[in-house]
A and B are shown apart, each in its own frame.
Chain A
């Protein structure tokens, strides 16, 4: 079976500074894979590389990003755009700023449907109402005519989730969708993503720094640090028997309900320093021996 997303040896630099140092990662159909790492690990850049939304000063040195067997990096611009939003969707990080501030929410969703599915105005409106109901928004007819600033963060994130799943994508990239929300809303959003994923049969690449979130929703996980994959496997396996020292350190730094807060330990700076020096040694090796 072809993997929904297969990244092989992806190397990416921004202004000649390495961000991804040969990352390989697979997302199987229908799977929820967590991509965990601290800020600066390169996890968001990985998501943006898949979507083709890299900043203009970013260059991909080598590697392959294949979506259902098709190389996204080699693909024509127009062809890739046809996949975006339809087959590959994004749930953005910040719901407060990711909706167009001057357009009513209903029009934004309807535009997406009309753009990709060619629905008529009336059909798009009907489908939009359905989608809003699906993400547990009460009085969808009323919400349709609201502007984003008239809605709460949780509501906006639901709208963005509805948009992500609107065209039954086979891959959804969730870029820290819960980070900007408070804890109670986070839970609702996670449940929502899980429910919609099942209903639409989508695979999800869930980018987060929160191991608690990974434990709740992800079947498998990949730990990223300094642009390198340190460990990957089934979530249950990795969290119970972490093999890499960094994963263990991350676990020890994650608050849990069944442990007193005093047992929390920050990730040891020495370990982080060691990992970075390894990464830099890798860079200098590559520089000395150009591929």
Chain B
């Protein structure tokens, strides 16, 4: 075991590889799915066979290419306005990825900072932050997001703000509790005995112990952010009307679900794959990042 560790330090590539192995199948599958999602989002203009907004009313509601009546030019068929479903799915991934990355990161930064604060200071600071979290969590989160997005107005920024405002509690709660636990550990006392200030203690000793937890939460939160964005765009308070989103596609497909079920089915599959990918990635990274877990 020790030898593996030493080898893994000497050369970064092999260290990466060892981590990948430690994370197991979850990490590998999760990483593959998430990488795929990111690549699709980044290279959307290259990958999409059509302009996602281009309407062709003569070829509306075409089934996927492999079904009877399908057109090979529209691999996954077209929607009721004759827009290419595949292209719209690909462009929707952009919205999903942008929202997931920015919203989850901001929620993590704000939540973790407040959690660290509450957990390390205790006393009235902790009381204020904890009560704030309690009150916050008493609202139904999705409803709160919808109301917020409706109040702020549609648009990418308001979706992100709505998610951050609702979901920072997820991080704050867990980080606060874990900070408290870590501070009671002997190593924290030993670190204080070498004269570290509270800020240095948190930054140098406690925070590294929270990283596996934070990474897991972040990945899960990205999945949640994607879901919330889907819900918001489903009810029509997300990004501007003509920007393709998975939620918007589901909403459109819902009206003609009996005539053209694939229009609704494909975005649902995309959502499921993305969220599962992110959850697996989170789980896998937790194992890969925790040095004590290696066995």
Contacts and interface: CB of A to CB of B under 8 A. Distances in A.
Interface string A83-103: 111100110111001111111
Interface in A243-264: none
Contacts of A150: 1-2, 5
Contacts of B138: none
Given A103-B208, A150-B1, A85 B193 contact: yes
B178 to A, nearest CB: 13
Interface residues of B, number: 28
Contact of A83 (B2, B195, B211): B195
A74 to B, nearest CB: 18
B204 A53 contact: no
Interface string B209-223: 101100000000000
A97 B192 contact: no
Contact of B193 (A56, A78, A92, A145): A92
Interface stretch (B35-43, B147-155, B183-191, B256-264): B183-191
A116 B195 contact: yes
Interface in A55-101: 56, 78, 80-86, 89-90, 92-94, 97-101
A149 B292 contact: yes
Contacts of A56: 122
A282 interface: no
A19 interface: no
B2 A146 contact: yes
A92 B188 CA distance: 11
A160 B192 CA distance: 14
B205 interface: yes
Given A149-B292, A150-B1, A92 B186 contact: yes
A51 B193 contact: yes
A111 interface: yes
B192 A53 contact: yes
A94 B186 contact: yes
Given A115-B200, A142-B6, A147-B291, A101 B209 contact: yes
Contacts of A97: 185-187
B194 A163 contact: yes
Nearest to B200: A115
B5 A98 contact: no
Contacts of B240: none
B5 A85 contact: no
A246 to B, nearest CB: 30
Interface in A98-149: 98-104, 111-112, 115-116, 142, 145-147, 149
Interface residues of A, number: 36
Contacts of B205: 100, 103
Interface string B107-148: 000000000000000100000000000000000000000000
B9 interface: yes
Given A102-B208, A149-B291, A84 B186 contact: no
Nearest to B2: A150
B271 interface: no
A278 to B, nearest CB: 32
A218 to B, nearest CB: 21
The DSSP consensus for interface residues of chain B is: helix
Contact of A115 (B1, B194, B212): B194
Contacts of B6: 142, 145-146
A243 to B, nearest CB: 34
Interface string B1-37: 1100110010000000000000000000000000000
Interface string A171-211: 00000000000000000000000000000000000000000
Contacts of B196: 81, 85, 115
Contacts of A111: 204
Nearest to B188: A100
Contacts of B192: 51, 53, 84
B72 interface: no
Nearest to B197: A81
Give 8 closest A-B pairs by Cβ, nearest first: A85-B194, A84-B195, A97-B186, A90-B193, A85-B195, A81-B195, A145-B9, A98-B190
21 contacts: A53-B192, A78-B197, A81-B197, A84-B194, A90-B190, A92-B193, A100-B208, A101-B187, A101-B209, A102-B290, A103-B208, A104-B9, A112-B194, A115-B194, A145-B9, A146-B5, A147-B5, A149-B292, A150-B2, A150-B5, A163-B194
Interface of A: 51, 53, 56, 78, 80-86, 89-90, 92-94, 97-104, 111-112, 115-116, 142, 145-147, 149-150, 160, 163
